[in-house]
Amino acid sequence: MEALKITGLSKIFGSGRLEVRALEDVSLSIAAGDLVALMGPSGSGKTTLLLCVSLILEPTAGTVVFDGDTIYQDGWTGFDVRRLRREKIGFIFQTSNLIPFLTARENVLLPQDLVGVKGEVAENRAEELLEYMEVAERADYLPPLLSGGEQQRVAIARALANRPRLILADEPTASLDTARGKRVMDLLKKVARENQTAVIAVTHDARMIEGFDRVYHLKDGRLNNSNNHG
């Protein structure tokens, strides 16, 4: 089943002479377990597309179908988008965005707490994910005491906490060297395949997307045809 399908998505900021067409008639779909890369120059609309896909930014037109439900069709359709975002979408950013005064474990517990999962169930899930991301021995460390690569692995664990259907990664390797960046992307591939989680990753670095299923190129808000990148 398609985790996400967007059709004819457009986003316009401003009006009249100040109008900016950030996205123009964008369509794509991604199935569970697929890895999609989104590439393009600065200002091409990549972040705007992620914000629309993540239901943070309201599109101007088009359709967003998430996990079989039509969430947006030239207007919101009435779903609780905040709850949907908390329960079904995981986010990974350019910098880890971990809460600095919470330990690695507490950072992974937090999204579970927000959806009402607490106690032993939440603790076990956090431990399992930190183990899965190979940072279990750092569970009680605060983020400033972790390396950049370790912080991003904890960030992936946090994104996975509520078993999302979709992970959105915005330049997740930009602050890492090539070796650590590839390690993070390999872990995202592992997450997609083993958990049947759809992953959309924005990147500038073509070296990072080896093994991805499709690569989309955005330019001036328009999406070029995807190609396999095996």
Q: Which residues contact 8 (CB under 8 A, 6 or more apart)?
A: 25, 26, 27, 61, 62, 63
Confidence band for 230, pLDDT divided at 50, 70 and 90: very low
177 is written with which tokens?
């060297």
Percent of the chain topping pLDDT 90? 61
Q: Is the pTM of this model over 0.85?
A: yes
Q: Which residues contact 183 (CB under 8 A, 6 or more apart)?
A: 149
Judge whether residue 123 has pLDDT over 50: yes
In the chain, the amino acid numbered 21 is R
- As a whole number, the mean pLDDT across the chain is 90
Q: What is the pLDDT of residues 156-191, one digit of tens each?
A: 999 999 989 999 998 888 888 888 888 888 888 888
Average pLDDT over residues 2-15: 94
Cβ atoms 138, 170 nearer than 8 A = no
**Domain extent listing, the chain:** 33-45+80-228
Architecture in CATH of 33-45+80-228: 3-Layer(aba) Sandwich (3.40)
Q: What is the pLDDT of residues 79-119, one digit of tens each?
A: 999 989 988 999 988 877 899 999 999 999 999 999 999 99
